[in-house]
Chains A and B, each alone.
Chain A
Amino acid sequence: MNKDAIISKVNAFLIDEFEVDESKVTPHANLMETLELDSLDLVDLVVIIEKNFGFKVKGEDFVGIKTFQDFYDYIISHVTVA
Chain B
Amino acid sequence: MFFVYVLKNLGLKPAYFVLRFVAFYFFLFSYKSSKHIFHYFHKVLKYPYLRSLVNVYQNYYIFGQTLLDKVAIRAGFDKNFTFAMDGENYLHQMAAEGKGGILISAHVGNWDISGHLLMQRLKAKIHIVMFDAEHANIKKYLDSITGEHINIIVVKEDLSHIFHINKALQNKDLVCIHGDRYVEGSRVIAEEFLGRKTYFPYGAFHIASKFKVPYTFVFGFKEKKNHYRFFSTPLKINEGGVRPMVKEYSAALEKHLMKYPKQWFNYYDYWAEVPKENVLEK
Whether B257 sits at the interface, judged by CB under 8 Å, is no
Contact across chains for B161 and A47 when beta carbons are under 8 A apart:
no
- Give A37 to B166 CA distance when docked, in angstroms: 17
Residues of A close to B210: CB separation below 8 A = 43-44, 47
Query: Closest residue of chain B to A59, judged by CB?
Result: B163
Q: Judge if A2 is at the interface, Cβ distance under 8 Å.
A: no
Q: Which residues of B contact A60 (CB under 8 A)?
A: 163
Q: How many residues of B contact A (CB 8 A)?
A: 17
Contact yes or no, B166 A39, CB < 8 A: no
Chain B residues in 8 Å Cβ range of A39: 155, 159, 161-162, 203
Interface string of B196-213 (1 = CB under 8 A from A): 000000110011001100
Please measure, in the bound complex, the distance between the C-alpha atom of A42 and the C-alpha atom of B206, giving whole angstroms: 11
CB distance from B212 to the nearest CB of A (A): 8
- Are B211 and A42 touching (Cβ within 8 A)? no
Q: In the bound complex, do residue B167 and residue A42 qualify as a contact, i.e. CB atoms below 8 Å apart?
A: no
> A57 contacts which chain B residues (CB < 8 A)?
163, 166
Chain B: minimal CB distance from A10 (Å): 19
Chain B interface mostly: helix
Q: Which of B161-180 touch A at CB < 8 Å?
A: 161-164, 166-167, 170
A-B contacts at CB below 8 angstroms, number: 39
Q: Within residues 31 to 77 of chain A, which ones have a CB less than 8 A from any CB in chain B?
A: 37-40, 42-44, 46-47, 56-60, 62
Complex CA distance for A57 and B170, rounded to whole angstroms: 9
Closest residue on chain A to residue B207 by CB atoms? A43
Closest Cβ–Cβ distance, residue A63 to chain B (whole Å): 9
B102 to chain A, nearest CB (A): 12
Q: Complex Cα distance A44/B202, Å? A: 13
In the assembled complex, which residues on chain A have CB atoms less than 8 Å from the CB atom of B20? none
B170 touching A42 by the CB < 8 A rule? Answer: no
Shortest Cβ distance from A77 into chain B, in angstroms?
17
Query: A38 CA to B108 CA in the complex, in Å?
Result: 27
Q: Which of B166, B187, B202 contacts A46 (CB 8 A)?
A: B166
Interface residues of chain A, those whose CB is within 8 Å of chain B, are: 37-40, 42-44, 46-47, 56-60, 62
18 additional A-B residue pairs with CB within 8 Å, beyond A37-B159, A39-B162, A58-B167: A38-B187, A39-B159, A39-B161, A40-B202, A40-B203, A42-B159, A43-B166, A43-B206, A43-B210, A43-B211, A44-B210, A46-B163, A56-B170, A57-B163, A58-B163, A59-B162, A59-B166, A59-B167
